[in-house]
Structure 1
Amino acid sequence: MSTIWPQNLGETKGPKYKKLADTIRSAVDDGNLLVGTKLPPVRELSYQLGITPGTVARAYSILTEEGLLQAEVGRGTFVAAKQKPVLDDVWARQLHVHELKNPDHISLFSPRIPDVGQVAAIRKALIQVSEGPELSFLSYPTRSAYQPVREAVVEWLSELPLGSLNEKDVVLTHGGQSGLMVVMQAILQGPQPTVLVEDLSYAGFRRAAELLRARVVGVEMDKHGVVPASLEKAVRQSGAVAFCTSPEVHNPTGLYTPLERRQEIVRVARRHGIQIIEDDCYRMGDPRAPSYRSLAPELGWHVSSISKTLTPSLRVGFALSPQGRGADLRRAAEHGYFGLAQPLAALTCILLRDPKTKVLAREVQAEMARYVRSAVNTLGGFDLTWDDQVPFLWLRLPAGWRSAAFTRAAEAQGVQIRSADEFALRDGRAPNAVRIAVNCHVSLAVFEAAMQRLRALLDNPPEQISV
């Protein structure tokens, strides 16, 4: 295997982790690295190539995210087999097969919401859908037929400070990420438009933009979000057409952008005609300030979903256009996927119009808050950003730990969390921190035990700083 590694990598110019990742990809494509082959440990390969362990770890992380490699706790990193369909008669149990095989394992990668009655409500609504008119199961989605669904969305969102909202401003999407894609398709023009994001931000912004051949540029941020002066400088230098942000619940830090800062950002956007795409999918409680769609009705696009309040399994989201841009948004959706499947649209309408559904959403919120407070009881002595209306916590690591090493150590203890590196741009710098999501699919006792395992690691950093 030693012959596949690039020579003198430590002396090359440009990002070394990219060169290493490209080398591994080529070796897999050429058959020099076969499925199941174990790659050298991070420290061993870094010594062999004359580069830092962090460079090797970053290359491995990128390829693991792509599905080319897989990391197995206690065994190492291997060339992954090609993905095979897992949908069969026991598909539901396959969703969390790793946890089923390893009872002590808990995933805190993404929030998992509790069942407080919404499963029964969905089952009841599905029966209603199944008893609908026969022709509704034999027809394409149409704009006019789905008007009641869009009106239900407007009613569902009526308590939020979104400005004037009409059903013609609403497009139904396959979850929040689909909503971001549709909005970008409605906005982006030219051979390679530029999209701005905060230096540390939701990776879905970057992925959506890159799929549309857009260039992504990071902008300096502080404790209130993007720095307006830096945003203006980035717009001038890049000619960007859109800025993506999550002002209510910044992902991954959980921070919040106050009204005064939002107003400064709106002034920058208006000076340059830049569109603002607001992702509101992680907010569970009441909003703390008007949305950008309300503050800048001509520039503000809004994306939300029911994934964090009711269920992520239905993949239902909502994209809202600014004033006068509804036709652009509808065109992007209709040309992309025609619309939601009729049974799913009918199910969404039933759920959103049922007064009990908002009660269920509040109960989901209350139960998630209980888990957040439990985590704070254990980890609150460390540098922690949290809010019991936010389904994750942001932990800045103490001296002696680096985020990559801490996430590996946590996984060895059966706890999966996300490193700050996953939220930074490819060439950006990430803080020494991790994101811990709430998992209400396990009992509070199991969740608390996981927090205790993390606490034990934090209290006992390695003697040498590792990366």
Structure 2
Amino acid sequence: MNTIPDTNVIQVSFGEDSRPKYAVLESAVRAAIDRGALPPGTRLPPVRELAWKIGVTPGTVARAYSRLTDKGILSAAVGRGTYVAEPVSARPAPLIADVIEDMIEVDSIPHRTGGDSYEVNLFSPHLPAKGQHLLIRKLLAQVAENPPSGMMHYPSRGGAQAAREGVLAWLDNTPLGPVSESDIVLTHGGQSAIFQVLQTVLTGSKPTVLVEALSYPGFRRAAQALRANVVPVAMDRHGIVPEALAEAAQGCDAQVLCTSPEVHNPTCIFTPETRRLEIVEVARAHNLQIMEDDCYRMGRSQAACYRRLAPERGWYVSSIAKTVTPALRFGFAIAPGDWTPALRRSAEHGYFGLGTPLTDLAGLLLPHPDLPGQSAAARAEVNRYIQTAANHLGGYDLNWRMDVPFLWLTLPGGWRAGAFCQAAAGRGVRIRAAEEFAARDDHTPHAVRLAINAGVSLTSFEAAIRRLRDLLDNPSERIGV
């Protein structure tokens, strides 16, 4: 059945319903299916047509369709539209060869981003799909067909060796100092790596974790989950100020400094090696461990990592979220040499290791000869989006770098970050205020972070940036409210 039904069969009323509009629409479509108004095989109205008919944005309809597709209630056929799916019981089980063929035919638009969309989420970076998604799917099918680790065993250190060797190959040009496959501890993404390092290092009843005054919120969340105090350290245009670090380390049980010297999140600051060496001297004087979070760098390292500069106290954590995909939740931590057994025990006691299908996949994926080219293509595409944003917003106080998937915009006089984010949301653009990267009681600049979402089309992204530029160029009378 290819006839598109009258949109009136989808009886949607937003009225007093407090749920998001996409959720209300999702329920309405599901109700139409349940009562037989939309039988299996029915083609649903195009996104823009239904959006116009019921008075919502195309993004709202796209999200409702996407959620129903994820649940198996609808099915999307590339170039042919969205259909009501057959009941699960009526679907024949596909052969693995057919699954692989279907994977290769799937649209290249990443999951839940929708290509063209008025609503654009710039909360977190989103990579474009440049072949890595198809490679992962093909390798997943290969693992399912013949899993190297089997399907009936607990994870083991030996079983994950190929994954660790893959990480070592992936880090080949990273200036970490001497490192071997056995030094690498696999984690469930970068945040898990941060948590494992802190859990390994922190001791005593009231340990203190030092962070940059503006920093990745995951540092604070992990520290607080481990009942540690968090103390912010002042920064300048090169990152942490060494004198401020020395002052912050005094009068408390400061044990570890969390920092992002290659790509500071959220400001895009880079900490040069001369400054890093000054920070190392302070850390040695106050017996601080240094945890370096290198999750946001998409290109080459520009300076030696703390693990090489201070091999007795430099820790390194990263993941493949900003270079391959965030979907796999695959990260890793590397300790200073003497600390490796303690870090390994912390991970093994915490979660026994990563699931064997994931480590089998990583062992095939990370050293695959196609992956570097695919990641380079994704990075080049992200850079197109960065350049587009810089072209439109460069007249304002904007900090950005190529190969860094976000920008830092200091707002002009009169704007407050919260009011600007609210105004941006009203125009379909979601961004993060500086307050989200600072301690609750700290003074924060009136600034916002714009992540690069290369999952939407460049046309949609540019339109969103133009709307932000229009807000900056034409502030309302209530901008400071």
TM-score by length of 1: 0.79
Distance 1:448 1:223 in 2: 28
Distance 2:321 2:368 in 1: 17
Matching residue of 1:6? none
- 2:233 and 2:240 in contact (8 A); partners too: yes
Match of 2:227 among 208, 213, 228: 213
Q: After TM superposition, give the deviation of residue 92 of structure 1 in Å.
A: 11
Check 1:241–1:153 CA distance in 2 against 1; reply closer, same or farther (3 A cut): same
Matching residue of 2:118? 104
Q: Tell me the secondary structure at the aligned position of residue 325 of structure 1.
A: helix
Matching residue of 1:410? 424
Q: After TM superposition, give the deviation of residue 261 of structure 1 in Å.
A: 0.5
Matching residue of 2:270? 256
Alignment partner of 1:177 is 2:191: yes
For 1:284, give the aligned amino acid. Answer: M
Matching residue of 1:370? 384
For 1:128, give the aligned amino acid. Answer: Q
Q: After TM superposition, give the deviation of residue 156 of structure 1 in Å.
A: 1.4
Superposition pairs for residues 105-124 of structure 1, below 5 Å? 105-124=119-138
Please say which of residues 260-269 and 231-240 is displaced more in the overlay: 231-240
Q: After TM superposition, give the deviation of residue 400 of structure 1 in Å.
A: 2.3
Distance 1:393 1:90 in 2: 38
Distance 2:240 2:413 in 1: 27
- 2:186 and 2:332 in contact (8 A); partners too: yes
Distance 1:92 1:239 in 2: 56
- 1:370 and 1:388 in contact (8 A); partners too: no
Check 1:109–1:135 CA distance in 2 against 1; reply closer, same or farther (3 A cut): closer
Match of 2:301 among 260, 274, 287: 287
Distance 2:230 2:402 in 1: 32
Alignment partner of 1:422 is 2:433: no
Match of 1:162 among 153, 159, 176: 176
- 2:261 and 2:271 in contact (8 A); partners too: yes
Distance 1:249 1:421 in 2: 19
Distance 2:318 2:75 in 1: 26
- 1:384 and 1:393 in contact (8 A); partners too: yes
Superposition pairs for residues 58-457 of structure 1, below 5 Å? 88-89=71-72, 103-133=117-147, 136-457=150-471
Check 1:363–1:134 CA distance in 2 against 1; reply closer, same or farther (3 A cut): closer
Q: After TM superposition, give the deviation of residue 153 of structure 1 in Å.
A: 1.1
Distance 2:71 2:256 in 1: 42
Matching residue of 1:50? none
Q: Tell me the secondary structure at the aligned position of residue 475 of structure 2.
A: coil
CA deviation map 1:196-238 (0-9, x unaligned)? 0011111000001011111101111111111101101111122
Q: After TM superposition, give the deviation of residue 303 of structure 1 in Å.
A: 0.5
Check 1:134–1:221 CA distance in 2 against 1; reply closer, same or farther (3 A cut): closer
TM-score by length of 2: 0.77
Q: Aligned residues: percent identity?
A: 53
Q: Tell me the secondary structure at the aligned position of residue 454 of structure 2.
A: coil
Distance 2:69 2:219 in 1: 28
Check 1:380–1:90 CA distance in 2 against 1; reply closer, same or farther (3 A cut): farther
Q: Tell me the secondary structure at the aligned position of residue 130 of structure 2.
A: coil
Q: After TM superposition, give the deviation of residue 154 of structure 1 in Å.
A: 1.2
Distance 2:234 2:461 in 1: 35
Larger gyration radius, structure 1 or structure 2: 2
Q: Tell me the secondary structure at the aligned position of residue 248 of structure 2.
A: helix
For 1:126, give the aligned amino acid. Answer: L
CA deviation map 1:91-130 (0-9, x unaligned)? 999xx99977x94111000001000000110011112211
Distance 2:134 2:112 in 1: 26
For 2:72, give the aligned amino acid. Answer: D
Check 1:179–1:86 CA distance in 2 against 1; reply closer, same or farther (3 A cut): farther
Q: After TM superposition, give the deviation of residue 464 of structure 1 in Å.
A: 4.5
- 2:420 and 2:479 in contact (8 A); partners too: no
Number of residues of Structure 1 aligned to a counterpart in Structure 2: 389
Distance 1:437 1:114 in 2: 13
Q: After TM superposition, give the deviation of residue 466 of structure 1 in Å.
A: 1.6
Q: After TM superposition, give the deviation of residue 192 of structure 1 in Å.
A: 2.1
- 2:213 and 2:233 in contact (8 A); partners too: yes
